[in-house]
A and B are shown apart, each in its own frame.
Chain A
């Protein structure tokens, strides 16, 4: 049972504000914003998603630079409220196509309309875009997706926060397209976030893949959809230690540790032929989330070295190797490494002929950053950085720097080898042949090499 819902801009302005129960005193939005902005409690600098001020509980999630907030005085389930906030953001995005401050401001009346139906007197009624359609009358004012990078399909995945890989398309579920007709299409995205930690000797300490099969349907008439995954997919690593790393499980077998499904998914034939059946509701939703700790080949190898080079000088050598097929290109690659706090200057030296590389020394947090626009599979890149230090480094400079972390996105590549074998859409008429898009992308979640 929640008391209020509001959305704040980065500057703390109310964009929408809805009070459902009138239990929380006025000024809650200001109290919340001040608290989040100046959070300082036992060394933390970032406010946790849930906190309590004067017996009022504040929940918030950050989506597209906006703060979605709920308040309540009751001891509710935190995951319910946070999930709800996330879901409200998704519904709004389904309606508006693009979710950002501008689109929200232009469509705030529509958003109020949605909010009225989503929550009544603090109780959740529905968050299904499909169901909401019949209650909502405002037409969305479509906003152009601002500054959408044009780097190919994967760039679109890069929107939003790290853990909520963005949207398949920035098209409203309800708005008609300029032609007046809606294009029949369906997007299925297999998005994998990988986490790998390499020891200083290059040995893999931990690795995990967190994947989502995300669907966004623009099909009319809610046809039944069949989604077939790898036939030899197995789930659960019974009894064995999760980090067994025995590749004896057989080449090609994909073993998931665990997975969960959207409620529209029927699993009747899943055990037999690994097929998911569902009637896709409108809007964007995760069909399936999965987690895998089975050994996999990390897409990048990182080599990092720091050594003293005379008094008050040190040298860093960073080397990355793309361990995937040359037909695939990773983009928006960024390598970062903290250097000793007493570093005053850094000069960089790239390989001859390097293109699309950027280098930077972040003075404030004493970090070097190396950006590579594109990395083709099989290639290797090196960066040398010469550091000038303001004090002697007691002989253990290794302890003062690192670890190296890396972010990237690799379209049409998935580390787990989980595949969509086919995507079948129930045919309404003979001529009915919707567009189907099945896309893969792998992103770094926490990709770290220790030195």
Chain B
């Protein structure tokens, strides 16, 4: 397809050796610089081409800078362009030499030809040299007022470039307000679009330091601006349409009529051949209708066909991007897609990452009516020669089995997999059968009959082996030769490389022993001995624990290791709904493809303009919070230290905080201590207490490591809030993004309160009287939205964050509380509501 470039013919030799050629070029350029002979331009073109091809390959040709500039005195546009490209690339590294170019660029900025003016201005802005910005302001000012649209489009982006080189120069020259003016008045749609891009970036970056900027940023979302842009949406290029639609998503319409108007206006955008436009439109639709359940559902129905069309037209890469979004929607509302399941069947030539998404969708949409067909299809893939897909398909079948009422047929199929006699199929199936048995113990008879026939020698994968061993232990009374299989496994202890398998083996042997002591005694002795000598810490500890337990009391051992089990009703979801919601909020972005919210994969400074605006950007920073900003900054350094110390504290809490610091039902050090004491001590000190003990022993025995059960929470002490709590908006945003919602409540507001709520500020002041501070607020009657925070008096890291939406026409307030310490969120919420109920009465 791609023949290697031939150096003798091509002007772009693929790999020039470097230095020699560069100095050769230098010489040739010098000779041409002053020449006015005919044909000079052609010769220059050839030389320039060479220079640029070296540049592309990565050879440093910056030493030619002065020669290039000398040669640039020409009327040949092609030459000029090549020269500009070169200068733009190397000016940053050679600020002194860049000064040489200023002259001719400035001159070109006044050229008659708008083409040349635009080009020169763009190159001038691309120099990225801070001490040259003074030369930029003049040409830029005239560029913005140029009567040619092309020059203005260049100038608008130029303002943004200038801002990145020297923000103060840009602000001082008042360019942003010129852009604002152009955005609302320029006849050229691309100029308008560029103004919007530039302003979004500039205001977002400025907003952290300037209140005016954040007000300006918010003004971009005002009704007149949004309507102005929406009404000319068809004048914009498809790319600019995406930009406008991204802005519209953040707009909060005042009532449902407005919502329908916007949706009707954008309806035909769903038929656009450009997938980016369609997805941006879909995002607008989904977000506008979030609070209207049935319309939201209609939107799903409406967007299905366009999405499917995009998936099947266009290149494979594009269809993948769209498919990821479809996947997200299917996972959110599988019922709405249950009749479309055939669209999610895999095609043999699709890449793995596409098939994987499709399998997940098939799993999600399976219901009573389509399960049979879906599982039949999945079984085809399971028998497939493509091993990774076969594995995924088996897992999918298993998941469907776990979520269905009628698992009868599916279990049969799974058992058939075991008969297929392919190692990878057997391995995957064993893991699934184990999970199935934990949920449907009633199937044990059928499963065990098949599993018992599997030779453990054919199972090599650790997960599968562990599953098999678990079943041997758990159902040792039903599998006649279980003790002997386990015994032979113990004999090969040394060859077993996976610690997970050895751990399971210990437990299984002990369980088997408790049920069939005489037959297993030998194996148990060998297993404990091997375990005690094991170099792996966990294996060693478990062996020691069992050993001492057995020494202490066999009955207790049985209660600890082999208590009667309850079937698992639902397996924990791998992703929290909070994270899923966040990904949904970031629809039409990389978050959907990576299946992670953006804070997990982007640096802070690149979150993009308006990143947080779904939550905060559209709201004004409250008057009160302006006061808070100052103390917040003062405490900032201090605050960081405090955060650090809490995280250390978390670590020291040890086992009771089971990994996730947010869910840990931990109060403070002392309580966590008592919690862990109850858990470890009960089995010993009060062996007669059945329920509590079996609960905690279950935890120890838990093979999947589901963690410790939550301790009953003690009665909380009264909550005291810090009167002078401070939190800067960035920290608030971060916390809001990271913490899960701990409470969602609705309460009514008394009529006096509603009457008093003319502007957000009144309520903000009132709440501050109760040590609850506002960080952002917004909206107009009847809808107000506030973000509050409060801090525990004694605990610097004990923050509460609240989103409060008040509808004055229904006199209702909806409260979402997030807290560093979730156990107190109910107490706090009560406090918050009582403060709210007093509003207007004072």
Q: A residues within 8 Å of B by Cβ?
A: 1, 9-10, 13-17, 19, 22-23, 43-46, 48-50, 52, 55, 57, 60-62, 64-66, 73-80, 82-86, 100-102, 105-106, 108-109, 112-113, 116, 120-121, 123-128, 134-135, 137-138, 146, 161-164, 195, 197, 205-206, 208, 210, 212, 236, 241-243, 257-263, 286, 288-291, 338, 341, 366, 394, 396, 399, 403, 405, 445-446, 448, 450
Q: Is the CB of B2 within 8 A of A66?
A: yes
Q: Is the CB of B273 within 8 A of A446?
A: no
Q: Does B237 contact A (CB under 8 A)?
A: yes
Q: A243-B342, A263-B238 are in contact. Are A57 and B590 (CB under 8 A)?
A: yes
The 10 lowest CB-CB distance pairs between A and B, nearest first, are A101-B2, A446-B347, A80-B276, A49-B317, A258-B305, A43-B388, A289-B313, A124-B239, A65-B1, A73-B606
Closest CB-CB distance, B61 to chain A, in whole Å?
14
Q: Does B492 contact A (CB under 8 A)?
A: no
Q: Is the CB of B321 within 8 A of A50?
A: yes
Interface string of B357-394 (1 = CB under 8 A from A): 00000000000000000000100100101011001000
Closest CB-CB distance, B336 to chain A, in whole Å?
14
**A-facing residues in B309-365 (Cβ within 8 Å):** 309-310, 312-322, 324-325, 339-340, 342-343, 345, 347-353
Closest CB-CB distance, B769 to chain A, in whole Å?
40
Interface with A: B48-56, B63-71, B516-524, which one? B48-56
Closest CB-CB distance, A130 to chain B, in whole Å?
12
Residues of A near B238 (CB, < 8 A) are 263
Bound CA span A19–B10, Å: 25
Q: Which of A22, A76, A134, A137 contacts B81 (CB 8 A)?
A: A137
Q: B residues within 8 Å of A by Cβ?
A: 1-3, 5, 10-12, 14, 48-49, 52-53, 56-58, 77-78, 81-82, 85, 89, 92, 115, 122, 128, 150, 153-154, 157, 160-161, 190, 194, 197, 237-240, 242, 246, 271-276, 278-280, 305-306, 308-310, 312-322, 324-325, 339-340, 342-343, 345, 347-353, 377, 380, 383, 385, 387-388, 391, 420-421, 586, 588-594, 598, 601-603, 606-608, 611
Interchain residue pairs with CB less than 8 A apart (16): A50-B320, A50-B594, A55-B601, A61-B318, A77-B246, A80-B242, A84-B276, A113-B78, A124-B237, A137-B78, A161-B315, A161-B316, A259-B309, A263-B238, A341-B385, A446-B348
Q: Is the CB of B312 within 8 A of A291?
A: yes
Q: Is the CB of B57 within 8 A of A79?
A: no
Bound CA span A319–B197, Å: 59
Q: Known contacts A116-B85, A127-B239, A163-B316; can you find 5 more A-B pairs with CB under 8 A?
A: A46-B353, A75-B590, A75-B601, A86-B317, A258-B306
Bound CA span A16–B305, Å: 38
Closest CB-CB distance, B586 to chain A, in whole Å?
7
Bound CA span A65–B315, Å: 14
> Which among B12, B57, B115 has the highest number of chain A CB atoms within 10 Å?
B12
Q: Is the CB of B272 within 8 A of A76?
A: no
Residues of A near B275 (CB, < 8 A) are 79, 83
Q: A14-B58, A75-B586 are in contact. Are A242 and B340 (CB under 8 A)?
A: yes
Bound CA span A83–B313, Å: 12
Q: Which of A9, A78, A100, A112 contacts B52 (CB 8 A)?
A: A112
**Which residue of the partner chain B has the closest CB to A74?**
B608
Chain A facing B: main interface SS: mixed
Residues of A near B157 (CB, < 8 A) are 120-121, 123
Q: Is the CB of A102 within 8 A of B5?
A: yes
Q: Is the CB of A45 within 8 A of B352?
A: yes
Q: Which of B308, B348, B601 contacts A258 (CB 8 A)?
A: B308
Chain B facing A: main interface SS: helix
Q: Is the CB of A76 within 8 A of B608?
A: yes
Q: Is the CB of A121 within 8 A of B161?
A: yes
Q: Is the CB of A162 within 8 A of B321?
A: no
Q: Is the CB of B56 within 8 A of A17?
A: yes
**Which residue of the partner chain A has the closest CB to B388?**
A43
Q: Is the CB of B590 within 8 A of A78?
A: yes
Q: A137-B77, A263-B273 are in contact. Are A164 and B14 (CB under 8 A)?
A: no
Q: Is the CB of A78 within 8 A of B324?
A: yes
Q: Is the CB of B279 within 8 A of A84?
A: no
Q: Is the CB of B590 within 8 A of A52?
A: yes
Closest CB-CB distance, A96 to chain B, in whole Å?
14
Bound CA span A346–B255, Å: 72
